[in-house]
């Protein structure tokens, strides 16, 4: 008999007034008892609508059924069949729009906490499991992967499992992509990313860091060196700005730069003298996950006042619901229906205030969201010493400008078919570099699809 409780088993968390002073993980994970209790809320639906919401096809009822019986190793094995990074997905997937968004328990009450259960299984396995990874027998074919983010790592892992000799070229000094330099430690501990990457290396994937493709070697040169196919998973790391007056003042950051200084360059740790503003009052412009992360980091770095400035209302906020709740609980102030028009500086060129206007929502625009309209004469100043722009990113043009025959659309995203094939033979692409800034799980799904297409491409040429 299923457990018919309407609410999910609550997730143990650090208290807001404690956690907004440290970088340790906020959500602390279920205990075994909690995981079993939550697993019994699953109705084991025959048509399993939740699975259709998962871009990597995790067999959700099957893993949850094992979990309900206390078979955590079996639950993990089931997830690992289709998901190479479960400890990460369990933490950062926007489940409310994916698997949990389709769960029938969500019709009346809260959906089954699929993400939390997936996280539990992966963490349990890391702590207790005796997974011995068998290095597959080589099939003698070589593939190059550009970028060690979720798209590149998933593609590399799937190809390695099929026996390909895979080399990943990563521009930064460590693999992980946004998982490493973007998403903060308090949402995704970096040792978890390192462990997941370690499993791929055990499979035989070679990762070469400090290799900026387009500078060291081009994609064309990789093909000339004997790689039979190249997968491009170089993300969308080029930040956008508003092009308003004052954006060149000292104390204005892109969210990418701010988060990279904190996460990758460890600005929050004692003993690291990473240059970063030690701000008192911060305005973060934007309403996505990136904006929430930047705001919550600023608070933890010691800022007394942190504002989210977003031009639409709470309903349109694109960030994960859980992260918005966490940010509010941590004392971040939401200035909704507000838009910056100017940043003001002091006599030394440092930010001293941001000028905003009030907005109201009109008819829906092309994106389907209601268009924000300026309320004339509503200008006002907010005193801040730091402004962080989190209004979106696009792919860096380096790769497309150094590769022959690779086409991109107007937004600078590589043009690729559904299977990842680009306009250049033997070159595949997926993740944010194709879609623009999206989600970890969509990037992983694209890496997975492309791995299959690369296998078919190489095998058809070998015949």
Q: Which stretches of the chain bind ligand FAD, using CB under 6 A?
A: 92-94, 146-152, 169-172, 177-178, 182-183, 211-214, 233-235, 237, 259, 289-290, 293, 320, 396, 398-399, 431-433, 437-441, 443
Collapsed DSSP state (helix, strand, coil) of residue 457: helix
Residue 182 near residue 256 (C-beta atoms within 8 A): yes
Residue with smaller CB distance to ligand FAD, 339 or 394: 394
Residue with smaller CB distance to ligand FAD, 48 or 95: 95
89 binds ligand SF4 (CB under 6 A): yes
Q: How many residues bind ligand SF4 (CB under 6 A)?
A: 27
| Residue 121 host element (H or E) | helix 114-128
Residue with smaller CB distance to ligand FAD, 246 or 288: 288
Report what 148 binds from ligand SF4, ligand FAD, none; CB cut-off 5-8 Å by kind.
Answer: ligand FAD
Residue with smaller CB distance to ligand SF4, 277 or 442: 442
Whole-angstrom distance, CA of residue 137 vs CA of residue 88: 28
Whole-angstrom distance, CA of residue 271 vs CA of residue 83: 37
Q: Is 188 left (phi over 0), alpha (psi -120 to 50) or beta?
A: beta
Q: How far is the CB of 23 from ligand FAD (least distance, A)?
A: 14
Residue with smaller CB distance to ligand FAD, 277 or 416: 416
The correct pick among 5, 45, 333, 438 for binding ligand SF4 (CB under 6 A) is 45
Maximum Cα–Cα distance across the chain: 71
58 binds ligand SF4 (CB under 6 A): yes
Q: What is the dihedral of CA 296, 298, 303, 305, to 10 degrees?
A: -50
Q: Which residues inside 90-119 make contact with ligand SF4, applying CB under 6 A?
A: 90, 93, 95, 98-99, 103-105, 112, 114-115, 118
Contact characters 383-422, ligand SF4, x per CB under 6 A: ----------------------------------------
Residue with smaller CB distance to ligand SF4, 99 or 281: 99
11 binds ligand SF4 (CB under 6 A): no
Q: How far is the CB of 133 from ligand SF4 (least distance, A)?
A: 20
Residue with smaller CB distance to ligand SF4, 50 or 356: 50
254 binds ligand SF4 (CB under 6 A): no
Report what 50 binds from ligand FAD, ligand SF4, none; CB cut-off 5-8 Å by kind.
Answer: ligand SF4
User: Which residue in 324, 313, 315 sits closest to 372, CA to CA?
Assistant: 313
**Which residue is at the shortest CB distance from ligand FAD?**
149
Q: How far is the CB of 443 from ligand FAD (least distance, A)?
A: 3
Collapsed DSSP state (helix, strand, coil) of residue 68: helix
Whole-angstrom distance, CA of residue 120 vs CA of residue 15: 20
Collapsed DSSP state (helix, strand, coil) of residue 126: helix
80 binds ligand SF4 (CB under 6 A): no
- Compute the residue count for the chain: 463
User: Which residue in 112, 262, 81, 238 sits closest to 180, CA to CA?
Assistant: 262
Q: How far is the CB of 445 from ligand SF4 (least distance, A)?
A: 9
Q: How far is the CB of 186 from ligand SF4 (least distance, A)?
A: 19
Facing residues of 324 across strands? none
DSSP string, 396-453: -THHHHHSTT--B-TTSPBPB-TT-BBSSTTEEE-THHHHSS--HHHHHHHHHHHHHH
Which pairs count as long-range contacts for 191-194, CB under 8 Å and 24+ apart, including other chains?
A: 192/87, 192/88, 192/91, 192/126, 193/88
Whole-angstrom distance, CA of residue 169 vs CA of residue 147: 6
68 binds ligand SF4 (CB under 6 A): no
Q: How far is CA 460 from CA 91, 143, 446, 453, 457, in A?
A: 38, 15, 21, 10, 5
Facing residues of 408 across strands? 414
Residue with smaller CB distance to ligand SF4, 78 or 263: 78
Q: How far is the CB of 363 from ligand FAD (least distance, A)?
A: 29
Question: What does the binding site for ligand SF4 look like in residue numbers (CB under 6 A)?
Answer: 42-45, 48-50, 54, 56, 58, 60-61, 83, 89-90, 93, 95, 98-99, 103-105, 112, 114-115, 118, 441
């Amino acid at each position: 008999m299923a457990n018919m409780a309407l609410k999910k088993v609550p997730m143990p968390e650090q208290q807001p007034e404690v956690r907004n002073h440290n970088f340790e993980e906020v959500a602390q994970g279920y205990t075994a008892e909690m995981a079993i209790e939550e697993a019994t809320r699953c109705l084991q639906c025959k048509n399993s609508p939740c699975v259709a919401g998962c871009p990597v096809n995790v067999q959700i009822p099957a893993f949850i059924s094992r979990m309900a019986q206390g078979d955590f190793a079996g639950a993990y094995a089931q997830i690992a069949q289709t998901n190479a990074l479960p400890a990460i997905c369990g933490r950062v997937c926007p489940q409310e729009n994916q698997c949990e968004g389709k769960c029938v328990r969500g019709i009346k009450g809260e959906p089954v906490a699929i993400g939390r259960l997936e996280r539990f299984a992966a963490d349990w396995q890391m702590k207790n499991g005796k997974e011995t990874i068998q290095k597959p027998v080589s099939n003698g074919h070589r593939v190059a992967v550009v970028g060690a983010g979720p798209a590149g790592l998933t593609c590399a892992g799937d190809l390695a499992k099929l026996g390909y000799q895979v080399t990943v070229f990563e521009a930064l000094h460590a693999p992980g992509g946004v998982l490493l330099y973007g998403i903060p430690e308090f949402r995704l501990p970096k040792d978890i990313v390192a462990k997941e990457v370690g499993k791929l290396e055990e499979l035989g994937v070679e990762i070469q860091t400090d290799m900026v493709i387009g500078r060291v070697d081009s994609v064309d040169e990789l093909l000339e060196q004997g790689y039979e196919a190249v997968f491009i998973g170089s993300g969308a790391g080029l930040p956008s700005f508003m092009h308003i007056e004052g954006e060149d003042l000292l104390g204005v950051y892109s969210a990418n730069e701010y988060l990279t200084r904190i996460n990758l360059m460890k600005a929050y740790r004692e003993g690291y003298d990473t240059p970063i503003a030690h701000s008192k009052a911060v305005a973060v412009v934007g309403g996505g996950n990136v904006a929430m992360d930047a705001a919550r980091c600023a608070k933890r770095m010691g800022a007394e006042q942190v504002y989210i400035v977003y031009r639409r209302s709470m309903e349109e906020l694109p960030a994960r619901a859980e992260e918005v709740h966490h940010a509010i609980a941590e004392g971040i102030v939401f200035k909704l229906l507000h838009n910056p028009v100017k940043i003001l500086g002091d006599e030394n060129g440092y930010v001293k205030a941001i000028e905003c206007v009030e907005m109201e929502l009109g008819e829906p625009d092309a994106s389907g969201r209601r268009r924000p309209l300026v309320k004339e004469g509503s200008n006002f100043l907010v005193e801040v010493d730091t402004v962080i722009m989190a209004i979106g990113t696009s792919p860096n043009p380096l790769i497309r400008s150094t590769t022959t025959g690779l086409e991109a659309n107007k937004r600078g995203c590589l043009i690729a078919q559904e299977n990842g094939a680009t306009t250049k033979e033997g070159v595949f692409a997926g993740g944010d570099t194709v879609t623009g800034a999206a989600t970890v799980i969509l990037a992983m799904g694209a890496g997975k699809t492309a791995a299959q297409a690369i296998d078919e491409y190489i095998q058809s040429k070998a015949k």
